[in-house]
Structure formats: C-alpha cells, structure tokens
Amino acid sequence: MITDKRLADFLSCHDEPRNNDERLLIAEHEEGLDLSLYISSDVISHLHDTHPIELLEQGKYSEFCLMLEGVSHFLYVIWNANHQKKVTLLEMELQAEIDKFIMMRSLIDSDCCRDDINCLQSWLFEKVGFDELLTESELERYKQANYYAGKYCMSLQQQYKLQGLNNKLLKELRRFYRLVQEDKMRYINQLH
C-alpha cells in the first residue's frame, strides 16, 4: 500500500491520472503481477482517527467505502491470479460493491442502527452518483456493477436476513466469489 500521490501518479499507466483517493495499480509481466494499492494519506489519517462504527453512525460512509473498495480490488486480483484466472474490471467493481455491502452491513448493530440498514441499501445501490469524468464505457461498467451487486445483495438480505455472518451466508459468499464473470451474471439474472 502506498499513500504518496506523486508515487501513485508515477506508477499509474494513464498519462493523466484522475485526482482520486484510491487506485489499484497493476503491472503485468512474464513473471507475474506487480500490485500497489494507493489510498491517500488524508483518507488513511481520517480512518485511523475514527472507528468504522462511528463513521456509520454519523452517516459518513464514503471514506470507509473507498478503503474497502481498494482492499477488495487488491484481494480479488491476488486470489484470481493465484488460481490462474483472468479478471475483468466489471468483476472487480461488482465484487467491491458486494464486499462494501457485506462489511458495512456486518458492522451495523441491528439494535441501535436499524434504520441504517435501509439507508445503507439505498445509499449503495439506489441514490448513487458517478464521476462526471468517466468515459462512456467506464460509466456503463460502474452502472452494471452497481445494478448486479444491488440485486445480489438484496437477495442475500432476503434469503439470509443478514443477522451476522453465519456459516450458510459465508458459504454462499465464497461460492459466488469463485465464479467467473459469466456465471455470476447468469446467477444474478436468475434472481427475482
């Protein structure tokens, strides 16, 4: 993990990297992959000083989600690389949306934050905004990831009631995680 924006810009494959606070930097070569996860020092500092539960109670999900997304991307690339599986950008975004929902949902104390559960679903999957600088194909990818993750997470909410990470839920999450993109989309499309 790196927190130096200048280093992240230098390592980025884009000529004009966006001014964002999180980036997964990937360099593929014959011997494997080089990965760096950039999260801005400001985000790290703020997260270091504030417990995730406090952020959720304050309705300040953004920085926490930013960090979760970066870690999700990093782990997903590593897991798939170790299993000689290719990964698409859509898969990475889809998995990050699911990971954010599950992690945040598992942090919400159902006794004191019941309203936060509905707010979380709405915030992550309904009342979303997208960066105006996204290209048309990038925007479409983010919209697809949001739609499919929302549909999948709502089915998890209905099927497992998401009262803690129980063995059945973990088994389902692991099974889904290991699917290739086409199988994930096919599975989600069959959900009601």
Q: Which residues contact 176 (CB under 8 A, 6 or more apart)?
A: 98, 152, 184, 187
Give domain status of residue 46, yes or no: no
25 within domain boundaries:
no
Q: Is residue 44 part of a domain?
A: no
Instruction: Tell me the CA distances in angstroms from 113 to 3, 123, 180, one per residue in order.
Output: 32, 15, 35
pLDDT digits 0-9 by tens, 60-109: 678 888 999 999 999 999 999 999 999 999 999 999 999 999 988 887 75
Range of the structural domain that residue 158 is part of: 51-189
Q: Examine residue 41 and state whether it is found in any structural domain, yes or no.
A: no
pTM assigned to the model: 0.89
pLDDT greater than 50 at residue 110: no
Q: How far is it between the farthest Cα atoms of the chain?
A: 52
Helix (H, G, I), strand (E, B) or coil at 180: coil
CB-count burial class (<10 Å; 0-12, 13-18, 19+) for 33: exposed
Residue range 46-62: mean pLDDT, rounded: 75
Q: Is the pLDDT of residue 117 over 80?
A: no
- Residue 10: its pLDDT value, please? 86
Domains held by the chain: number: 1
26 lies in some domain: no
Indicate whether 114 belongs to any domain: yes
Within a domain: 152: yes
Query: What is the band of 111 on the pLDDT scale with cuts at 50, 70, 90?
Result: very low
